[in-house]
Amino acid sequence: MPLTREQKTELLASYQQGLAEAPHAFLLDYKGISVPQVTELRAKVREHGGSYLVVKNTLALRAIEGKALDGLKAQFDGPTAVVFSDGDPVPLAKALTEFAKTAPVLQFKGAMVERRPVPAEQIKEIADLPSRDALIARLLFMLQSPITRLVRTLGAMPQRFVSVLDQVAKSREGQG
C-alpha cells in the first residue's frame, strides 16, 4: 500500500531530525536478512548507542540533500538500512562487523565517520581501531611520559649535588 502525502512528510521530518544530523552513519544492504536477525541487530545497535532505520531511498535522499551524508547518495540504491549515532563510531562499527560475520547476507554499502564519507572496504579497519577512550588514554600516557622523565631528572640533580658535597667533606676530613 503506497504511503500518503502526510506519511511521507512525517518520514521526511524524522529522517531530517536523526539521519541527516548524525555525524556517524553506516549504510547497509539488508536484503535476505530474517526478522529474528533484524531484531538482534537492532538490539546490538541500541546497546552501542545507535539507531537502526530502514529508509525509503527517495525520501532519504531528500532529507540528506546538502548535509554531510549527501556524499553517500550513490549508495542509496536498493534495500537500504542506515545505522547512525552521535556517539563513538568504533564500538558501533565493531558490533556491525561482528554481526555481519554471523549474517553474511548483510552487506556494507558505505559509511560516514566524523561527517566524512568512508568506503565500505574501510569499515572493517574502523572496527579494528581502539575506542576513543583508549586512544585518549594512550595520548595522555605519551604526553605524560616525557614530563615524568624531566621531573625525575630535575629531582635527581639536587640529590647528586648533595652526594658530591658529602664526598668532598669526607675527603677533607680524611686529609685533615
Tens digit of pLDDT for each residue in 80-119?
A: 888 888 888 888 889 988 888 888 888 888 888 888 888 8
Measure Cα distances from 105 to 2, 37, 102 in Å: 27, 11, 9
The answer to whether the CB of 120 falls within 8 A of the CB of 127 is: no
Question: Whole-model pTM?
Answer: 0.69
Length of the chain: 176
Task: Quote the cell numbers at residue 173.
Answer: 676530613
67: nearest Cα among 115, 118, 123, 119: 115
119 backbone dihedrals φ, ψ, rounded to 5°: -65, 155
Which residues of the chain carry a pLDDT beneath 50? none
Question: Which amino acid would we find at residue 130?
Answer: P
Going from N- to C-terminal start, the domains of the chain cover 5-129, 130-176
Say what the pLDDT of residue 59 is. 85
85: nearest Cα among 76, 96, 74, 75: 96
Domain 5-129 has CATH 3.30.70.1730: yes
The residue assigned the cell 531484531 is 39
Say what the pLDDT of residue 43 is. 93
Assign residue 49 a region (left: φ > 0; alpha: ψ between -120 and 50; beta: otherwise). left
